[in-house]
Amino acid sequence: MAMGRTLFLFVLCLWIPLEVVGRKEPSSPTSVDSSVSSRPKVVKFGALFPMDSVIGRSALPAILAAVKDVNSSTSILPGIDLQVILHSTNCSAFLATMEALQLMENDVVAVVGPLSSGTAHIISHVVNELHVPLLSFGATDPTLSSLQYPYFIRTTQNDYFQMYAVSAFINYHRWREVIAIYVDDDNGRNGISVLGDALSKKRSKISYKAAFSPGASESDISDLLNEVNLMESRVYVLHVNPDTGLAIFSIAKKLGMMGSGYVWIATDWLPSVLDSSESPDPDTMNLLQGIVAFRHHIPDTDLKENLLSSLKSQRAKETVSFNSYAFYAYDSVWLAARALDAYLNEGGNISFSSDPKLQDTNGSLLHLASLRTFDGGPQFLQTILGMNFTGVSGQIEFDMDKNRVHPAYEILNIGGSGSRRIGYWSNHSGLTVVAPETLYLKKSSNTSLMRNQQLYSVIWPGEITTTPRGWVFPNNGQPLRIAVPNRVSYKDFVSKDNNPPGVQGYCIDVFEAALKLLPYPVPRKYMLFGNGVRNPSYNELVEQVAQNNFDAAVGDVTIVTNRTRIVDFTQPFMPSGLVVVVPFKEQKSSPWSFLQPFTTEMWCVTGAFFLFVGSVVWILEHRLNPEFRGSPRKQLITVFWFSFSTMFFSHRENTVSGLGRLVLIIWLFVVLIINSSYTASLTSILTVRQLSSQIEGIDSLISSTLPIGIQDGSFARKYLVDDLNIAESRIVTLKNMEDYIDALQRGPQAGGVVAVVDELPYIELLMSSSQCKFRTVGQEFTKSGWGFAFQRDSPLAVDLSTAILQLSESGDLQRIHDKWLNRKECTTVDVDSNKLALTSFWGLFLICGIACFITLIIFFARIFCQYNKFIPESEKTDEELQPVRRSRRPSRTPSLKKLMVFVDKREAEVKEILRENKKRRHSQSLDDPSVSSTI
């Protein structure tokens, strides 16, 4: 506030005529008078804006119409005549301030205007001192919403929202860099600053800010556009004044910047110009073909149609049509009138008091006493901010930041003789083809609406319908500077070549093939990085790209975390990862190799099942089959012989029972599977050479203290030391493949290394070139890939990623791989990995075991049924027979010995005894009826 007073007094001093400077101050004290009116007959407000501008010509009739409508209304300010005092200004902020001071001498309660944000900044200090609300329908500078300007009220939309709408449109088309062209004043500068913030949230940016002065000549603008045209981005955001914007397009047309491949996005100034003319000039429309513009969204309502009809019926000759600012100006008058009516109804008074600080001094002729403070200004300000009604421009309500609620914009595509709407943007729904006021009525969440962004198609400059990629190579004659590592080992991947283009290898061929798939030429120049004596540091190579010493790095560059922080990588074209390679030694077969196919657990379970199945078959066949009978010694031998002979399907005993045959069939199937698996595993173990090394993977390598070899220039050193905490003294740098072979063959005892840690593509080439004398152990312990590195936000990284995917899908990537890297594969067989465990066969054993238990249950059920009928009557004593005669259900408690004897009997003998018992009981029943009755 102190700074505002200082600026205000400074302006007043400039206004002092030279002849009054130095006059003495009156000796009488300053008096403060006050005029009070509880319900005045006349209330005045001011209108302060350039009335001959594009916006002013539309706003003036709207303000006059609003005053007329308010005065004719019986519900708003009844009995009060609302008068407007018009002061036309120009683009000079100083002269506009003078007009504002003259306006304030008329005791106005509010001021409508100004249009210029720069003028609004200065006048806001004046109204702050005099407590007069400033209702601006044209100043869109986002910084005017700050707490520094409490009496500034924006009745139009804040450019903060417009810039977020532009950012959403840019992100919708996936452009990453844009160039902002703007007037370097408060409105342009601050608006573009917000655009930069909005783009950064979408991972985009303003690559260049092309600013020009408000009074720039055509030659200055032409020089600026020439400079812009040499840059990479082809997406231009034009944020200028309505009165000078078309001149920029005219100059751009002459420079060939309005054709195919260019994207022009204009803010609301362009629709304001076009809407102000009912029939735009055909030459102007031809100039604007394909441009996308943003316009304030004014809902189509009856209020809007009635106002347009009224304005067109009484419009001046110079006013052909009306832009969106006319509606905001109309609503500004109604806002002041409604708020004043509410203020008076609440007991407010229209009174003005002289400010002691503004008294005339030293005989000044300024008449500072005529500038009086509105006493009810603070209360009137709060009344305005609390208003909530529907106007022509939509709902008029203010949020906590004094911005209009529900900001929305229409997105227009200019073409033919007019423009067509391709969608809307609002802070509620984002980009959509549905009118925002319709979406406000729905219950859809803001998140779901933002997720489903949609626009109609656009016809771009040059009458193309495909979305421009938004960038080209700069027209400055400089080819792309591509750094290529000058390797001294593994030259199949990338190396120096005496023929153009000077480099060759697998990586170069992939890069060249990907460039051929791009829809545009890429001028390039390969530059070797490294001294050719040892492999270069790839971290330094990537840093050179990040520092703009190179535009890209092409080669076997691994995508790792610390590199992705400073450059952008393409899609990986070669999978990679660190592996451990050790010397390969053929391991001689052991005399006990035949035991290796099965694990110990598998051997034990298999042997137990042989005995178990043999025992089950013996139980099922013992009563029926003579081959399973005899002395205990003979039967025991039979069980063992039968069990293990089934392994070779050479058992000579035949099974005669149905249950025994069922068990044997299932068991023979299990034996077949076990034999086949055993044979295959043993064959693999005996015929394939095996690896013999004390290092089994990265874990055993970390736990050891032996030296480890790495490739010169590789990121493996940093990874082993920093991430795996391996002592740096253990790391041995190897320059080429010959050093690898020599160090591995010598071993740690002879000054070599116990293992080498390097990326898989190098190791595969090493093993193939050395006749498979080395092998990898364990698994890859990092997962990464090789990619081409570009400077941050380079569009080439995205386009080449798509091209690499196309190469992979078409098979060309594999063909390039086979051309350079098609080598003999080396395989390693780990003995432990070929051992067959119980987990692979427990299902078979389970089926066989269940079958055995079911057959045993059935067998013993039959035995007990027979045994209940078997006990002969002759073996029973009189004491045993007496209860039988007395009871109809005899009680039998046979001994275990008798049961075992019964089980051991032949089946035929048991059946014969049962038949005899049955005949005897039948004959006894005929002789003794009492016995028959008990039976």
Q: Could you tell me the pLDDT band of residue 890, with boundaries at 50, 70 and 90?
A: very low
Same domain, 362 and 415: no
* pLDDT digits 0-9 by tens, 567-618: 999 999 999 999 999 887 665 566 766 676 778 888 888 778 778 887 787 7
- Residue 191 placed within a domain: yes
- Give the angle 483-487-493 at the CA atoms, nearest 5°: 85
175/470 Cα distance (integer angstroms):
6
Looking at the structure, tell me whether residues 186 and 249 fall in a common domain.
yes
Residue carrying the six token digits 């751009």: 252
How far is 892 from 898, CA to CA, in rounded Å?
12
Residue pLDDT, tens place only, 809-855: 999 999 999 888 876 666 554 545 557 777 777 888 888 888 888 88
**122 and 93 in contact (C-beta within 8 Å)?**
yes
Q: Are residues 118 and 220 in the same domain?
A: no
DSSP 838-860: GGGTHHHHHHHHHHHHHHHHHHH
* Residue 109 and residue 199 share a domain: no
In this structure, are residues 238 and 266 in contact, taking their beta carbons and an 8 Å threshold? yes
Report which of 762, 782, 760, 804 is spatially closest to residue 569, judged by C-alpha positions. 804
The answer to whether the beta carbons of residues 624 and 657 sit under 8 Å apart is: yes
Cβ-contact 410, 424 below 8 angstroms: yes
pLDDT at 645: 73
Pair type for strands 292-296 and 408-415: antiparallel
Task: Answer whether 297's CB lies under 8 Å from 79's CB.
Answer: no
Same domain, 291 and 412: yes
List the beta bridge partners of residue 709.
732, 756
Determine the Cα–Cα distance for residues 135 and 503; give it in Å rounded to an integer: 68
Tokens of 603: 């051997």
Task: Enter the tokens of residue 462.
Answer: 């040059």
Q: Which two tokens stand for residue 48?
A: 């302060």
Q: Looking at residues 134-156, what average pLDDT do you find?
A: 94
Query: Average pLDDT, whole number, for the chain?
Result: 82
> What percent of the chain clears pLDDT 70, i.e. is strictly above it?
79
- C-beta of residue 157 within 8 angstroms of C-beta of residue 407: yes
pLDDT at 366 (0 to 100): 55
- The percent of residues in the chain predicted with pLDDT above 90, rounded, is 45
Residue 754 has pLDDT above 50, yes or no: yes
pLDDT in tens, 325-346: 999 999 999 999 999 999 999 9
How far apart CA 421 and CA 433 sit, in angstroms, is 9
Q: Which residue has the tokens 């030459």?
A: 283
Q: What's the CA gap between 891 and 881, in Å, rounded?
A: 11
Nearest to 874 by CA among 818, 916, 931: 916
* 137 close to 112: Cβ distance less than 8 angstroms: yes
Say what the pLDDT of residue 876 is.
46
List the structure tokens of 17: 């005529």
Within 13 Å and on the Cβ side, how many CA atoms surround 411? 31
- 163-206 tens-digit pLDDT: 999 999 999 998 989 999 999 999 999 999 999 999 999 888 99
Give a yes or no: residue 796 inside a domain: no
Does residue 282 share a domain with residue 215?
A: yes
Q: How far apart are CA 489 and CA 184, in angstroms?
A: 56
pLDDT of the residue at 888: 42
pLDDT at position 525:
92
What integer pLDDT is reported at residue 902 of this predicted model? Answer: 66
Whether residue 460 lies inside any domain: the answer is no
Q: Over range 669-685, report the average pLDDT.
A: 78
Residue 878: the pLDDT is 44
- Each residue's pLDDT tens digit, 300-315: 999 999 998 888 877 5
Sign of CA dihedral 183, 184, 188, 191: positive
- Residue whose pair of structure tokens reads 């010509």 in the numeric block: 57
- Of residues 463 and 641, the one with the higher pLDDT is 463
Q: How confident is the model at residue 881 (pLDDT cuts 50, 70, 90)?
A: very low
How far apart are the C-alpha atoms of 472 and 523, rounded to whole Å?
11
What is the per-residue pLDDT for 879? 46
- Residue where a domain terminates, one of 687, 703, 718: 687
82 and 148 share a domain?
yes
Domain membership flag for residue 423 = yes
Q: Of 639, 664, 687, which closes a domain?
A: 687
Q: Does residue 224 share a domain with residue 141? A: no
Work out the average pLDDT over 419-426: 95
- Same domain, residue pair 140 and 280: no
Task: Give the range of the structural domain holding residue 662, as residue numbers without chain letter.
Answer: 593-687
C-alpha span between 498 and 186 (Å, rounded): 58
Report pLDDT for 513: 95
- Give the mean model confidence (pLDDT) for residues 798-802: 91
| pLDDT one-digit tens code per residue, 495-528 | 999 888 899 999 999 999 999 998 888 889 999 9
The token pair at 284 is 């102007």
pLDDT (mean) for 891-904: 59
Nearest to 544 by CA among 556, 529, 525: 529
Q: Which pLDDT belongs to residue 98?
A: 82
pLDDT band with cut points at 50, 70 and 90 for residue 15: very low
280 shares its domain with 413 = yes
* 882 belongs to a structural domain: no
Neighbouring C-beta atoms of residue 351, cutoff 10 Å = 17
Into how many domains does the chain fold? Answer: 3
Q: Give the mean pLDDT of 220-241.
A: 93
Query: Do 182 and 287 fall into the same domain?
Result: yes
Quick: pLDDT tens for 256-303: 999 999 999 999 999 999 998 877 788 899 999 999 999 999 999 999
Is 248 within a domain?
A: yes
Q: Is residue 650 part of a domain?
A: yes
* pTM of structure: 0.68
Kindly state whether residues 200 and 271 are assigned to the same domain.
Answer: yes
- pLDDT tens digits, 913-930: 666 666 666 666 666 555
Domain-ending residue, one of 669, 687, 705:
687
Residue 662 in domain:
yes
Please tell me the predicted confidence (pLDDT) of residue 281.
83
Listed residue (898, 902, 911, 863) closest to 659, CA to CA: 863
CATH of residue 224's domain is: 3.40.50.2300
